[in-house]
Structure 1
Amino acid sequence: MRKHPVMSGLLLLVALGFVFYLIFYRAGVQTGSTGTKGFSLNDKIGVLPIEGLITDSFKINQNIDEFAQDSSIVAVVVRIDSPGGSVGAAQEIYDAVIELKKKKKVVVSMGSIAASGGLLIACAGDKIVANPGTITGSISAIMQFANLEELLKKVGVKSSVVKSGPYKDIGSPMREMTPEERLIVQELVDDIYNQFIDVIVRDRKLPREQVETAPRAGCGNSGWARFFRS
């Protein structure tokens, strides 16, 4: 009996669909409970994207915890495409990756950019890989304060401050920073910078003098990634 071409085509599509269903079912592709921030592939490799400005660590660390608790995941790829951001948030993610590394193999993949706080997180990985055009580096810390005093004078705005201590309004946009306040802020920035240096020296196993002579500001290409890789 001659088979109908349309029916044969439908049967073929059904068969292919069933095969793909089995493949993806066995693969067990899944997302973390917080959405698409992390997923596991073949129940063996987890992928954790860290993208854009780093302002909060909560959702990312939730996904890291999911990967750590999932016994079917044996390794995690941390995909970083970020220029950095908040020091505190980057440090919290870094600490979470360090804890994850005690249970799983962690490989960091640098995307278009992995600088400043992005580089800090990358240092927590067992291995770092990067593209030839990856922008990385920027071992530095910065704090900026706007001074609107002269502008406000032009529109007749004055500020009256009542404070409990001499430095309570440090960084206020209503006035110029005093030399004593500038020294306090500089010490804070230097402390954050030294914490960054400590991480690179400890995790990438590099001589401190070598890291300290690297440019504090600015970025470089993936040659920097080779510099930090160990």
Structure 2
Amino acid sequence: RDFNTLVSDDSVKAIVLDIDSPGGVAFGIEQFANLVFEARAVKTIVSITSTMMASAAIWIGAAAEYIYITGEVVMTGSIGVVINHIDVSELEKMFGIKTTEITAGKFKRIASSFKPLSEEGRAELQSQVNHVNSAFVADIARFRRVDVETVSSKMADGRTFLGSQGIEAGLIDEIISAEELIDLINAEINKSEGNINNFKGGKGMVNTIAKKKPVEVMTAESIQEDNPVVYTEIFNLGGQEARDKLNTAVAESFEKGREQGKDEGEIIGAKSELERIMAVEAQLVPGHEKLIAKLKADGVTTGPEAAVEVIKADKELRAKGLKNFKAEGAKSVGNDLGEEPPDGAKKDWKTLVAEYKEEHKCGVTEAMKAIAKSHPEEHEKYKAA
């Protein structure tokens, strides 16, 4: 309800979802994530985290137009589903209790907690987990404008990412502080006289990131010493699994940084160059094949650097698309000023939603649902954009 209020408020030019969550129960998450995604038609929506955006939380965060993290010690990902079965039958025996369940229907209580999990019960629970996971992965693919196979191979399977690992996977757009993000949005609002539709989301921030000094290689001990609060929060939120993965990731990052820092010529040989080329190739996004070929050939660009360049090029491509959209949408702008469109002129998605909202005095979500039903072709164009 609060989110719909923000979307419907014309004085609100952009919405920032500041997320700090390891996830949780999936019920209701899919619906809210799609509400965020659909609202991108009328508002600029971005998500950011300075700690953790994982599991069910990334389902929501990925629905925003852009996803940001504030540094290298920020955890994202964990795209997957888990369900627990607790067998209390032995515990009941200790207290002299035996629970008998009378059921109707083959699958009723097929995975009962009052008896060991049967093969049939396990299969049923696995089927449910797989179903929810398929919906999860499909939504992430739609939100990030990639195919399901890309999400499954690079972002999902329960993997968690630290910092720029999420950028390499294609799940995160950029690293930026919350203050820089707010300043950028305000600057865009002021520059466009209150019209945030010109928000580019990344070009300026890519330049800012490019000017920053390389991130110093950190160990778990240095994080604990320099940032004890952050260290404790990450380990408490993630549990034992997250702690193990964090230690492994930090060790791998340290080893990678140590190897790259060596200036001994014999180390920088055929193997490292092959690994660099493979890392650059892994950042390929359809439509940017020439850029990837150029970065592979320059002999210096790393995988993360290639990811930033691809993101930058992709956003410049979006900016060109926005420019063309504005040119095509001149007639729609005329309608907003009270001018009638010429006979036979087609109204775009945003114009149709805005007119329905004004005419029926309703919220954006209701207007979008009505226009999607009455103008399916425009709805399909919007979803494909």
Partner Cα separation in structure 1 for residue 82 and residue 46 of structure 2:
28
Q: Look up the match of 2:17.
A: 78
AA aligned to 2:132 is I
Which one has the bigger strand percentage?
Answer: 1
Partner of 1:223: 164
Correspondence for 1:197: 137
Q: Which residue of 2 aligns with 1:98?
A: 37
CA-based RMSD: 1.6
d(CA) in 2 for partners of 1:185, 1:172: 11
Which AA in structure 1 matches 2:138? D
Deviations 1:166-215 (A, max 9, x none): 22113322101221121111011011111111112111123433321245
**Letter aligned with residue 74 of structure 2:** T
> How many angstroms apart in 1 are the aligned matches of 2:157 and 2:7?
34
Length-normalised TM-score, structure 2: 0.42
Paired residue for 2:3?
Answer: 64
Unaligned 5+ residue runs, structure 2?
174-385
Equivalent residue runs for 1:135-150 within 5 Å? 135-150=75-90
Counterpart code for 1:222: G
1-structure distance, mates of 2:97, 2:26: 34
User: Any idea what SS the aligned residue of 2:139 has?
Assistant: helix
Instruction: Give the distance between the partners of 2:152 and 2:133, measured in 1 at CA.
Output: 10
Uncovered stretches (5+) of structure 1, i.e. residues with no partner:
1-61
Percent of matched pairs sharing the same residue: 25
Shift of 1:218: 4.3
Q: Is structure 2 residue 170 aligned with structure 1 residue 209?
A: no
In the other structure, the counterpart of 2:119 is 179
- Structure 1 residue aligned with 2:110: 170
Q: CA deviation at 1:94?
A: 0.5
* Equivalent pairs, count: 169
Scaled by the length of structure 1, the TM-score of the pair is 0.68
Say if 2:37 and 2:63, in contact at 8 Å, map to a contact too. yes
Amino acid at match of 1:220: F
- For the 8 Å contact 2:37–2:143, the answer to whether it is kept is no
For 1:194, what is the secondary structure of its paired residue?
A: helix
What letter corresponds to residue 191 of structure 1 in structure 2? Answer: H
Q: In 2, are the aligned partners of 1:137 and 1:224 still within 8 Å (CA)? A: no
Quick check: 118-127 or 200-209, which moved more? 200-209
Residue 115 of structure 1 pairs with residue 58 of structure 2: no
Q: Which moved more, 1:94-103 or 1:220-229?
A: 220-229
User: 2:92 pairs with 148, 152, 170, which one?
Assistant: 152
- Which whole-Å CA distance do the structure 2 matches of 1:148 and 1:83 have between them? 27
Matches of 2:172 and 2:110, distance apart in 1: 39
- Following superposition, the deviation at residue 222 of structure 1 comes to 2.2
The structure carrying a bigger helix percent of its residues is 2
For 2:123 and 2:35, the matched residues in 1 are separated by 32
Distance across 1 between alignment mates of 2:146 and 2:39: 22
What is the SS of the residue equivalent to 1:108? strand
What is the alpha-carbon distance in structure 1 between the residues aligned to residue 43 and residue 84 of structure 2? 38
Deviation at 1:127, TM superposition (A): 0.6
Q: Is the 8 A contact 1:77 1:108 kept in 2?
A: yes
| Contact 1:80/1:113, CA 8 A, preserved across alignment | yes
In the alignment, the residues of structure 2 paired with residue 75 and residue 152 of structure 1 have an alpha-carbon distance, to the nearest angstrom, of 55
Instruction: Please give the alpha-carbon distance, in whole angstroms, between the structure 1 residues aligned to 2:7 and 2:58.
Output: 22
| CA–CA separation in structure 2 for the residues paired with 1:175 and 1:218 | 32
Between the aligned partners of 2:60 and 2:112, the Cα distance in structure 1 is 31
Give the structure 1 partner of residue 215 of structure 2: none
